[in-house]
Amino acid sequence: MGKIKVTIWNEFVHERDDNPVGEYIRNIYPDGIHEFLKEKLQADDLEIRAVSLNMPDQGLPDEVLNDTDVLMWWGHCAHHLVDDELVARIRFRVLHGMGLIVMHSGHYSKVFRTMMGTACRLRWREVGEKERLWVVDPTHPITQGVPETFTLPHSEMYGERFDIPEDGKILFMSWFEGGNVFRSGVLFQRDYGKIFYFSPGHETYPIYHDENILKVLGNAIRFVNPACGVLPDRITPTPQSHEPITTENPLIEVKTACLHQQKK
């Protein structure tokens, strides 16, 4: 089997800010979150690209997007700048099997909200409080290799209520020092595509330096990869289709003419 083609998309705005915040973030992610993750997640079975909003075609021309097995998405302050047409192309790809990993503030991106149908609102607070993650499904491939609970010393609080659809399979729940809880790792399926949302990842803390966080992201890449356990001819869904009368349907006779046929 070939390598999994991963594309890490980052809006790449905070890291380039010409102010003390940008400087602070650059100390953590000198070349941006996408380049940092590309380096940290590299492995023999992965072929990783790092792209960003400021690149041509917002980083995802057809030749990149259509060559991507798993798309990772980090966005925060530039959600509104992402082209609706790009969002539609990503949605099409996800429904046809491309895996999608939405990170942190990507919860409010057009891409995630389009796939969910909901607004994906939550409560938030940025005071550097402690976050403690709990594994809710220890049997899932995405939770392997991390302890049943682990702590991030400083994190942005993301709290309930999080208005995601109820089919989200909860893999992680988070506790925050200030009194909030959150479904922090949730898995969805939308047609042929698997979508994993993972909330840790605020840009002003070195969260993607954490080994457990990286382990989860690495597991998620392998799991949402469309070829994970699936035959090649099952990776692309069949279109909405007319179902003819065949020998498989021997019982049926045409009882009424298809009235619309003359127009179709």
**Least gap, CB of 243 to its own copies (angstroms):** 4
Residues 174-203 that bind its own copies (CB under 8 A): 174-181, 188-192
**Least gap, CB of 230 to its own copies (angstroms):** 6
Amino acid in the structure at residue 202: H
Within 10 A of 209 (CB to CB), how many other CB atoms are there? 12
Query: Would you say 51 or 146 has its CB closer to its own copies?
Result: 146
| Residue 243 within binding range of its own copies, rule CB under 8 A | yes
Could you say which of 43, 83, 211, 245 contacts its own copies (CB under 8 A)? Answer: 245
Query: Would you say 57 or 129 has its CB closer to its own copies?
Result: 129
Query: Would you say 54 or 204 has its CB closer to its own copies?
Result: 204
Map residues 44-83 to x or -, x wherever contact with its own copies holds by CB under 8 A.
----------------------------------------
**Least gap, CB of 64 to its own copies (angstroms):** 23
Map residues 127-156 to x or -, x wherever contact with its own copies holds by CB under 8 A.
xxx--x-xxxxxxxx-xxx--xx-x--x--
Question: Tell me, what DSSP letter sits at residue 69?
Answer: S
Query: Would you say 41 or 124 has its CB closer to its own copies?
Result: 124
| Residue 171 within binding range of its own copies, rule CB under 8 A | no
Within 10 A of 222 (CB to CB), how many other CB atoms are there? 18
Torsion angles phi and psi, residue 193, rounded to 5: -105, 140
Contacts 24+ apart (CB under 8 A), 17-26: 21/204, 24/204, 25/203, 25/204
**Least gap, CB of 56 to its own copies (angstroms):** 26
Question: Tell me, what DSSP letter sits at residue 119?
Answer: -
Query: Would you say 49 or 108 has its CB closer to its own copies?
Result: 108
Question: Tell me, what DSSP letter sits at residue 178?
Answer: T
For residue 189, the cross-strand partners are: 194
- In 1-39, which positions are buried (b, 16+ CB within 10 angstroms) versus exposed (e)? eeebbbbbbbbbbbbeeeeeeeeebeebbeebbbbbbbe
The contacts of residue 174 (CB under 8 Å, 6+ apart) are: 131, 132, 133, 134, 158, 181, 182, 183, 184, 199, 200
Query: Would you say 61 or 175 has its CB closer to its own copies?
Result: 175
Could you say which of 39, 45, 83, 160 contacts its own copies (CB under 8 A)? Answer: 160
Both structure tokens of 74: 């980090």
Query: Which stretch in 4-12, 50-58, 59-67, 112-120 sits in contact with its own copies by CB under 8 A?
Result: 112-120
| Residue 27 within binding range of its own copies, rule CB under 8 A | no
